[in-house]
Amino acid sequence: MNSEFSGLEVIRDDDPLTQELRAIYAPPADTAYWNLLERRIMARLSLADGDSWWAVSGTWVRAGLIAAGIAVMVAGTLLLRTQTQMARAEYETVIDPATIDAPTLAARERLSEQQANVRILTGH
């Protein structure tokens, strides 16, 4: 017996209700039933207007294109809004009057020409 089913008791005798349900829901054994079912399904799939069953009708294509266009416009608007907010936040963190310490800026010594050139070339 399988280890995962070792704790379960196997019931060999089904009660009458279970037997009746199995008889009702049992698949037909006759192959003619399955052949007829296949013919009915295939007849239903071949549409009267000649379109294939997997083809999308023109009205659904139009509705889908409109929905896709609206989705692209909304996504583009949200992207631009997010980029604008991020740029504004970056700007505010760099240029914030509260973070500028005026006495420190005023106390800085003037750079010599050599120091200014080194700073220009190195970026520091």
What are the tens digits of pLDDT across the range 71-124? Answer: 999 999 999 999 998 888 777 776 666 666 555 555 567 778 888 888 888 876
Q: Average pLDDT in the 57-78 region? A: 92
Residue 66's pLDDT is 95
Q: What integer pLDDT is reported at residue 73 of this predicted model?
A: 97
Number of domains in the chain: 1
- 72: containing domain: 15-47+57-122
Q: 99: which 2 tokens?
A: 């973070």
Q: How far apart are CA 95 and CA 33, in angstroms?
A: 80
Is 43 or 99 the better-scoring residue by pLDDT?
A: 43
Look at residue 35 and tell me if it is in a domain.
yes
Q: Does 67 reside within a domain? A: yes
37 alpha carbon, distance to own chain's centre = 37
Residue 31 lies in a domain: yes
CA 122 vs. chain centroid, Å, equals 46
Any idea of the CA torsion for 23, 29, 30, 36, to the nearest 10 degrees? 90
Inside any domain, residue 52: no
Start-to-end CA distance of the chain, whole Å, equals: 76
- Identify whether 3 is part of a domain: no
- Which of 27-36, 41-50, 55-64 has the weakest average pLDDT? 41-50
DSSP H/E element including 38: helix 31-45
> Is residue 10 assigned to a domain?
no
